[in-house]
Structure 1
């Protein structure tokens, strides 16, 4: 189970996702894996923040890339507390991080920042270019994190699974540790028993996002998926514990 942007309890007021408070809440539940997103501030700091700008979280139209770390810390001070990527790794040494590279400029700095903790980081992005740039920077700095496929790679895997060729699936998944996908894309079903089995035979995991209902969690786990990205870490932990 991967806590999506940490965990914000239903009763919490004024706490935003991807904040120190949200990650502390996920950790307090007993969560091991957390999902987050990386942007770069105007002064070159990698921060955990999902959106390109501050509009939704803080009612501020400025892009994350246009504010300094100190300015962003001030904005988020009353919303749960900003986490830089190095700060998050230091503050939560027992958590494992699934990190999505959201901005092109964040890729290389993110890779360098995670190198020292590469054994507990999985790098992902919708963009295979950003993902591979982050991986290259991490490896150049002495780390070798796991990685999840970008959109172009996922499309190749889906075509390979449809062809029923194990060889093509293995080739499409070369260098990939996990596929992180929605159960459906519009009317198209992505996650099926055949899909999960094909990916497993090629040596990779399947993680499904974003799954918040207990019955959906149970159904997907029954299909054999390896991870559930969820806003409801509390519900997911109960579902997983009940299956133990």
Structure 2
């Protein structure tokens, strides 16, 4: 529950960046949906042998749409995906402050690798979710909605419905795979924590390793240890 409130506080702090990013995303999706229509006008114009100046205007309009899509896409990605970097710093700062007030007994009973995994892998997973995951979902919803409306109105409603037939199957497959993905992600996190713990042991015991000339042996041992967890 505490994590939920931390994330909500972050969203409130940067709400204007999120709102601006969503607006630019909507504009980008609208321009993206216009490009196939402009291409269709150019193709029909060539078949119907319309005047060359009209074709040139369509081509210029197509170039303008492509440049506009590029510019607006860059802006919304900068705002939405860029926010996840601020989120990563925000979470690391919160975690560091929290670790400073925890009792010393916690560090006696906790593995260093687990703490490293929390500070690196777990926070990066949240960053990717709020960055690429959030924008991919939002972008997919907007583009699909706009595309469906345009296809239904300008092409053929029946063909639009036929194109959407595989969608429920894809959603069902993703729903069935979510548990396996979660299990494998948890296993990766655990392996990362164990490898981090091994690295920490080697770093803290580097003098002993050098004193007994065990560098090559430790390298081989670490390679075996890592391969066993890949």
Bin of the TM-score, shorter chain as denominator length: under 0.3
Which structure carries more relative contact order (alpha carbon 8 Å, separation 6+)?
Answer: 2
**Structure (1 or 2) with the greater helix fraction:** 2
Instruction: Point out the structure with max Rg over C-alpha.
Output: 2
Which structure has the highest strand share of the two?
A: 1
TM-score by length of 2: 0.21
| TM-score (normalizing by structure 1) | 0.20
